[in-house]
Chain A
Amino acid sequence: MSGGHRLSTGGVIDRSQTLRFRFDGRDYAGHPGDTLASALLASGVRVFGRSFKYHRTRGLLAAGVEEPSALVGAGEGGRFEPNTRATDLHLYDGLVSESQNRWPSLDLDVGAVNQWIAPFIPAGFYYKTFLGPPALWKLYEHVIRAAAGLGRPPQLPDPDRYERRAAFCDVLVVGAGPAGLSAALAAARSGARVALVDLDRRLGGSLLGDPVTIDGQPAKDWIDAAEAELRTRDVRILTRTTAIGYYDHNMVYLAQRVVEPGARTGTDGISQRMWRMRAGRVILAQGAIERPLPFEDNDRPGVMLSGAVRTYLDRFGVAAGERFVLATSGDDAYRTAVRLCDAGLRVDAVLDSRPSEAIDPALLRRARDRCPVETGVRPLRAIGTPRGVTGLEVRAASGTVKYVADVVAVSGGLTPSVHLHMQAGGGLDWDEGRGVFTPTAPRQGQVSVGACAGRFQLADALSDAWRAGLDAAAATGGKPVADTPPRSETWAFADQASAFVPAPGVNPKKVFVDPQNDVTLGDLDLAWREGYRSVEHQKRYTTLGMATDQGKTSNLIGLARLAENEGRPAPQVGLTTFRPPFIPTTLGLWAGEDAGFHVTPLRRTPLYDLHAAFDPPWQAVGYWRRPRAYLRAGETLATAALREARMVRTTVGITDVSTLGKFEVSGPDAAALLERVCATSVSKLAVGRGRYTFMLREDGLVNDDGTVWRLGEDRFLLTSSTGGADRMAGLISYARNVLYPDLRVGAANVQEHYAAIAVAGPRARAVIAAVVEGMVPPRHMSLDRGVVAGVPVLVIAASYSGERAFEVYAPSHQAVAVWTALAEAAEAQEGGLYGLEALEILRVEKGHVETGGEIDGRTSAHDLRLEKMLNPRGGYMGQLAQQRPAFADPDRLQFVGLESLGGPIPEGSMLVERPGFAVQGHVTAAGIRVLEEGFVGLALLKGGRARLGDELLAWSPTRTASARVRVSEPVFHDPAGDRYRD
């Protein structure tokens, strides 16, 4: 039987130990040091999954993080993680994994029928097919959603923790291959604080298992010595850590896998950790990614990258198959061929597309000593079945030749990994001869070394990186050492040559470029013919490079095809933008600890615990929580709210209004500052008096409203809405510090210094008189000071509910005693507590505007009937802008009341003549008459002030509810204010 198998020797794995794991319900075994991919390959598994669109079988293409095809789900229950690359999943005992995109099983897959209808699902299929009337979209959506997406999301809550950490260093080295280790050694010896990260589990990168020597030592020994030295020099070494994003000012995000995907966490419960590393200098040593060759059916299982075949052999001791054919456009495949032959494996041919005179004779000789080499041959098609490749058909000078093989190793050239360099704002040079983009013009001082800089020779990488390490250390205050850089022989075969164009006669519709998204050369040609000629358009239209691998192996091939179609050189066609993250990340990693209760902060008023004792339904108001009502047995929220509102209208109620914004403004110019912040007059207020006020934005629209109180000649208290409090704090600070720094005034945000308790109702005076020692309750819009339960309080008389009302301000830490005294006194007056719902019912009936309701960021003072209160002396913020004629246009949405001619007015409904007619306005608040029958509401209505008495329909198709309404003045209760004025 053909297939991969484990060799008895070789590789950096521990054959003395066995790890057991499951894949698609079957048991397998591997060794420490294996990836899931290498362990399955060693067990003879060839098919790892099916493709996204055509459901073609797919095997391993690569051995690293660039793998586009072998995606698996790992773990069980809440730890399940989909779309994990089998090549980037280090084996652990008990791993449970499954293939993706197949139903019911990998061998028998219903969706595979898609490949027979492939001619009918070309590039841009969705855009072309799912046209037509919007109603049909409801049908399409089900089809698309069922077919779309890779893997499946976990179905249970994640039991693990995710952590964020901030860190900094002088020199960050990304990648711990030969270049990265060399750079880290140079920087650390020069005294820099160094961090070294690598996405692999161990250091060494491409050196792992490589028989090369460095400084006369086997690579393995050199790696171990380097790691030991780095540790003694306090280098922060993070393995299984991927630099996923390079942001501004040398901020690099590092995604660390504390445990493997799906694995049980340790005692700290942490699964993954996100590091935000701020570095003085960044050295990028990420290596290069090999590209496949374009030929028909090049996606068959068993078609693998040449470098990957070598990695499985050298690092994991796994023969990827039994009979190998290598197709190449450059030297890399020769390295693989030599390694395979030296391991005793059968190599039927190295098939080089170059003519023999273009190949180094020494190289040819060394390969031909071991296996046949044919030059000037180009691959036409892979022969095989869905179970895998069985051979390769090539065009040679003599004609078409077929080779038998169960592994076709391909090498179409190397692509330097310039992702982070580009994220950091760098530029690229195009090397036409070798067909590579190399990094240039670093914007943030980042340096690329080794293969990611296009320096593929080991000796070059080591010495370049060494110099970069010394320079980075010097730039961050270190003292470069005079030691010599690590030395090595050059890799015998490392010349780069790229092949992007398939042989003549190859059908481009069968040549896969992006195997994960099933994008073929034919799709790219079609998109080009249809006019998608920018590289960004080609990407979106064909989905090339939009899969979870983000086109690591395919983007350059697509670019070359576009350049060829365009007849322009590749650099002129340009590349798509490199965006973070470099590899797919879990959402948990980004959320960190901000999950569950910690998603948002919770702000508690000083009286929170007293409310919580009632277990009330809460209303989130910004980060605050306020009780909606204090329900009694048998009550619904609606009946409780109405009872509480009636209580306020008939006896007395108290409610917690501590969330309101509060600002203390003091100094000789306090009134002057307030008259710039507030649109009403302030300076004429007598000491001990207060007034309603509102503020404008600079564009003239209403910003917020509140009250302003003159506590002393030079001292004021300004209140604002709960939701607007933070905005107002910023506005006051801006006015004070930026606009009017010369005013002699201080403004303090005292929102949380004071609790505020509203006492409202016909018996409010009695409550105040009973509780505040010796106080004659102040007149409406006046204030007084007193003591409640030994606590000094400020009592202001203002009414939001439309009843006689007071607000009692007490220091937050003493507020509980004040609330308790007020609540007892209210009960003695047959009153009690009321919540936010009753507050809303009361204010709607009274017709007060509310920030977030009628003050919605689009209404002017005129719209809200506040224009008469504008300070005639001007000078306030927004004055100039609010005078623009359009703000007084009679056709604007204006504040009106609505009286229902039937049942309840639906919240948020639109105002129309009849269903389906033009929308003339909308309901901003719906309410109910408290003591009388009927339903009322507040609305913004086009030209509303001139339309009193009009009848309209308040229509809410989303709630399938409506009510006939009559437009009225927006005040339904005590229009003259007789109930609270003195």
Chain B
Amino acid sequence: MMLIPCPHCGPRAHAEFTFDRPVEAITRPDETPDALVRNLFSRDNPRGPSRELWRHTYGCRSWITLTRDTATHAITDVRPVGADA
């Protein structure tokens, strides 16, 4: 079980969080149909760093983005959603 450093609450158990989606799958109504289909259905399945949207559902309930290495589960660069560079 991973330990996820919530930017608001500090390190908390994975069980408190819900994975939502890779950041690239955050689709918007003004996208082109091609981009939408690609982001919804044809996403990369990286072995390595993946930028992801999570929610601290059973904690502070806030949305966060983080980088998780899908091979090692190393978690880096956790920040509140919208705080991306």
Contacts and interface: CB of A to CB of B under 8 A. Distances in A.
B72 A276 contact: no
B46 interface: no
A278 B63 contact: no
Interface string B53-68: 1010100011100000
A880 B62 CA distance: 28
Nearest to A742: B82
B73 A734 contact: no
B28 A739 contact: yes
Interface of A: 247-251, 276, 278, 425, 443, 676, 698-699, 730, 733-734, 737-739, 741, 874-877, 879-881, 883-884
A875 B63 contact: no
A698 B41 CA distance: 11
Given A733-B61, A734-B20, A738-B53, A879 B29 contact: yes
Interface of B: 1-3, 13-14, 18, 20, 26-29, 31, 33, 36-37, 40-41, 53, 55, 57, 61-63, 72-73, 81-82
Nearest to B18: A730
8 contacts: A248-B73, A251-B2, A730-B57, A739-B26, A876-B29, A879-B29, A880-B29, A880-B36
A884 B37 CA distance: 10
The 3 closest A-B pairs by CB, nearest first: A249-B3, A251-B1, A248-B2
A737 to B, nearest CB: 5
Contact of A874 (B29, B40, B55, B57): B29
A880 B29 CA distance: 6
Contacts of A676: 29
B26 to A, nearest CB: 6
A247 B1 contact: yes
B45 to A, nearest CB: 18
Contact of A877 (B14, B29, B33): B29
Contacts of B3: 248-251, 278
Contacts of B63: 733-734, 737-738
B40 A249 contact: no
A741 B73 contact: no
Nearest to B23: A738
Give the residue among B1, B13, B61, B63 with the most A Cβ atoms within 10 A. B1
Contact of B73 (A249, A738, A739): A249
Contacts of A698: 27, 40
Contact of A884 (B27, B33, B57, B82): B33
Contacts of B81: 737-738, 741
Give the residue among A276, A875, A879, A881 with the most B Cβ atoms within 10 A. A881
Given A733-B55, A879-B29, A884-B33, 6 more contacts: A248-B3, A248-B14, A250-B3, A251-B1, A739-B28, A881-B40
Given A738-B63, A880-B29, A276 B1 contact: yes
A738 B1 contact: no
A676 B37 CA distance: 19
Nearest to A251: B1
Nearest to A881: B36
Contact of A699 (B1, B14, B40, B55): B40
A22 B59 CA distance: 52
A634 B72 CA distance: 64
Contact of B26 (A425, A738, A883, A884): A738
A443 B31 CA distance: 40
A446 to B, nearest CB: 13
Nearest to A249: B3
Given A699-B40, A877-B29, A881-B40, A249 B2 contact: yes
A698 B26 CA distance: 10
B1 A249 contact: yes
A739 B82 CA distance: 9
Nearest to A874: B29
Contacts of B61: 733
A427 B17 CA distance: 29
Nearest to A245: B1
Nearest to B33: A880
Contacts of B13: 278
A740 to B, nearest CB: 9
A601 to B, nearest CB: 13
Contacts of B26: 738-739
Nearest to A741: B82
A248 B1 CA distance: 5
A522 B61 CA distance: 58
Contacts of A248: 1-3, 14, 73
Give the residue among A874, A877, A880, A884 with the most B Cβ atoms within 10 A. A880
A173 to B, nearest CB: 20
Give the residue among A249, A443, A883 with the most B Cβ atoms within 10 A. A249
Contacts of A276: 1
A247 B37 CA distance: 35
A253 to B, nearest CB: 9
Contacts of A251: 1-3
Contacts of B57: 730
A777 B73 CA distance: 59
Contacts of B2: 248-249, 251
A753 to B, nearest CB: 17
B42 to A, nearest CB: 13
A306 B76 CA distance: 49
Nearest to A740: B28
A734 to B, nearest CB: 7
A868 B79 CA distance: 42
A475 to B, nearest CB: 16
A251 B13 CA distance: 10
A676 B57 CA distance: 22
A822 B28 CA distance: 46
A174 to B, nearest CB: 17
A249 B72 CA distance: 10
Nearest to B73: A248
B84 to A, nearest CB: 11
Contacts of B29: 676, 874-877, 879-880
